[in-house]
Amino acid sequence: MIKDVLFVCEDNAALSQIAEAILSGAAGNSVRAQSVGITPLHQVDRDVVRLMSKQGIDLADRTTRDVQSIVDQSFDYVITIGDVARDQTPDLRGNPRRIHWRTPGSSPHLEQAVSEIENELASLLLYIEKYPTARELHFQPGCASIFASPGTFISAEHLPLAAEAGFKCFEMCCYLSLESFDFTEEKNVIEFLRISNDLGMPIFSVHAPYYLFDSKEDDPAHVKKVNESMKHFADLAAENGIQVVVMHVKCSSHLSQEQHDAQVLEQLLDLQDYILPLPCVFGWENVDQPYPEKHLEIIRSLNPGAFQFVLDTGHSNMDNYGARDPEDPDPTGFTERYMANCNLRLSSLHLHDNDGKEDSHKLLGDGTIDWKTFRKQLVSVGYTGPLMIECYPGLQGCDDLKQYLNDGLMSLENLR
């Protein structure tokens, strides 16, 4: 598959044009590069044309383009160059990996900028060649590693079982107890990574532990610990081609809504600055949120290169565990409301079914969710990525994991 890469800078007259030209020459037919600007100038900078000509790259006839000209296209990578592009590049189709480059400006340091872009592109091309994107995994069956719960997940035993059943990618779940998967033991994480790689099954997402905000929210040491943990998982994701770091944010039990929102936003902005240069995002899952529109409003206020949305169908089918905000007058179900408003911020899924009352993590079709309607909604919002099931056979009294995984794969036919 040809990877589509987009470079965005403020004016599309210098740095993004340079990056497009160099990558196109270096990648051959494996990559299709384009560049655009937020407020493009009328022509490419003449100094850039002269400098690139010395390197054998002809930009004399190159035109500039506006970012709005490509909003109907899909991309695998979006590289923002400079603060304006970082802050104003819109959500784009294809569930792309977004990476921000803090590259210096053009003249009089143009040669230095070109050298830094060349170094960045060398690393980017290696990453592009090594790891699959959401478009390559689109509607492929994925499996979260919680399927061994309440037992201990053993990578050497359980990952091959999922591969044998026909799953094509994984989510590494570090959210449950350490008895389920002890991610604090580095050897366990390394083994998971090694075996998934040996099986040719990429890890699309990793579910981070802890709530970003919980009962210890007034303890600065705990807040720092949680944020450092989130950053650790962002590093783990970036280093291993994992696209989404799934996270939970808990509503405060005793702060006012205004105080809670302010403290959460402070943590989110800290994480945003950290993850923007990395080829992964935080995916904020729908749990313990007051109602869909407010949840998504917060996500949309953050940079799309840092924060996206992960829809858990079991949670939304229960209207967030039945804990509706008393000020929420809309009787429409949460799943429908999330799907009507998430648009291109939907980065991944946790697919499971239930009866609308208990978070039982059943296979698709074993509860009350209308999966035919949900599939239409997925297509309508432009979701691109795998179909990741998050089911607990232990909650169903099933101890035959091989059969359960086979049944899990078959249940995804409700969406394919």
- Residue 383: is its pLDDT beyond 90? yes
Amino acid at position 71, single letter = V
Read off the pLDDT of each residue in 13-39 and give the average, rounded to a whole number. 95
Query: Higher-confidence residue: 322 or 370?
Result: 370
Bridge partners (DSSP) of residue 141 are 387
Q: Which CATH class is domain 141-414?
A: alpha beta
Arithmetic mean of pLDDT, 381-408: 88
Band of the pLDDT at 86, cuts 50, 70, 90?
Answer: very high
Give the pLDDT band (50/70/90) at residue 113. Answer: confident
Mean pLDDT computed over 335-363: 94
Please give the average per-residue pLDDT across 19-47, as a whole number. 94
Q: Are 204 and 385 in contact (CB under 8 A)?
A: yes
Considering the four listed CATH numbers 3.40.50.2300, 3.10.129.10, 3.30.450.90, 2.60.40.10, the one that applies to the domain covering 3-130 is: 3.40.50.2300
Average pLDDT in the 34-57 region? 94
**Domains 3-130 and 141-414 in one fold:** no
Q: What pLDDT does residue 106 have?
A: 47
Q: Which two tokens stand for residue 141?
A: 């069956």
Q: Are 372 and 131 in contact (CB under 8 A)?
A: no
Q: Domain spans of the chain?
A: 3-130, 141-414
What is 256-320 written as a DSSP string?
Answer: -HHHHHHHHHHHHHHHHHHHTTSS-EEEEE-SS-S-HHHHHHHHHTS-TTTEEEEEEHHHHHTTT
- Nearest of 256, 260, 251 to residue 286 by alpha carbon: 251
Adjacent-strand bridge partners of 74:
93
- Look at residue 224 in the predicted model and tell me its pLDDT: 83
Amino acid at 34: Q
Q: Can you tell me the distance from the alpha carbon of 233 to that of 208, in angstroms, rounded to the nearest whole number? A: 7
pLDDT range class, residue 70, cuts 50, 70, 90: very high
Over range 44-67, report the average pLDDT: 94
Does pLDDT of 107 surpass 50?
Answer: no
Write down the pLDDT at residue 145. Answer: 95
Give every CB contact of residue 56 below 8 A, 6+ residues apart in sequence.
none
Per residue in 161-197, pLDDT (tens digit) is 999 999 999 999 999 888 899 999 999 999 999 999 9
User: pLDDT exceeding 90 applies to what percent of the chain?
Assistant: 74
Q: How confident is residue 153, by pLDDT bands cut at 50, 70 and 90?
A: very high
299-342 per-position pLDDT tens digit: 999 999 999 999 999 999 986 554 556 666 666 789 999 999 99
Q: Give the pLDDT of residue 124.
A: 96
Distance from the first to the final alpha carbon of the chain: 21
Burial class (CB in 10 A: 0-12, 13-18, 19+), 328: middle
| DSSP secondary structure letters along 339-365 | HHH-GGGEEEEEB-B--SSS---BPTT
pLDDT, tens digit, 9 for 90 and up, residues 192-235: 999 999 999 999 999 999 777 555 556 777 778 888 999 999 99
**pLDDT exceeds cutoff 70 at 254:** no
Q: Which two tokens stand for residue 395?
A: 């909650």
What average pLDDT score do residues 89-96 get?
98
The pLDDT value given to residue 323: 52
Look up tokens 């921000």; give the residue. Answer: 100
Average pLDDT of the chain?
90
DSSP bridge pairs for 281: 244
Model pLDDT, residue 397: 63
Question: Which residue would you say has higher pLDDT here, 39 or 328?
Answer: 39
